Homo-oligomer: A and B are copies of this chain.
Amino acid sequence: MEPRAGESLQDRYAPANRCFGCGPANEKGLRIKSFVDGAEVVAEWRPEPHHQAFEGMLNGGICGALLDCHSNWAAAEHLRKKAGLDAPPCTVTADFHVVLKRPTPMDVPLQLRARVVESQEDRAVVEATLEARGRITATCRGTFVAVKEGHPAYRRW
């Protein structure tokens, strides 16, 4: 089923998920909410003070965690639509490459954008950006793979 208007992919397909980056049920997690917007998947997120690298600037590992989970959802939703499924396959990250272009500030909402640039039946390559005040602060390119039966992540959403 398509997400309802205004409903995030996480809330639609995995409300009980406890993933650090994107689990709606993880109270100590980043709890990103990713929405389909045409050919992109977008999210807005605000840092908490303990996500800092130093005062006022976001830790690069958190930048990576945001980009990784957001991109993974872009891949999962893409593979769902491509296969005509009701729910997305459970996808895991094979690799992700983060480029930190400038410091990411902590005092404004941050925007995530992701787009599938290549895909096969069971995997997608996603390019994503993190922005603050309309400027890209970090980019990411990653590969996300639908796991098969027998993988520990199979049907864990």
Interface residues of A (CB under 8 A from B): 17-21, 26-30, 50-57, 59-62, 64-66, 68-69, 92-100, 103, 152-153, 156-157
Contacts and interface: CB of A to CB of B under 8 A. Distances in A.
B68 A65 contact: no
A13 B155 CA distance: 45
A152 B52 CA distance: 13
Given A18-B55, A29-B50, A95-B97, 18 more contacts: A17-B54, A18-B52, A19-B53, A20-B61, A21-B59, A26-B50, A54-B153, A60-B65, A61-B64, A61-B65, A64-B64, A64-B68, A64-B96, A65-B65, A93-B98, A95-B98, A97-B97, A98-B98
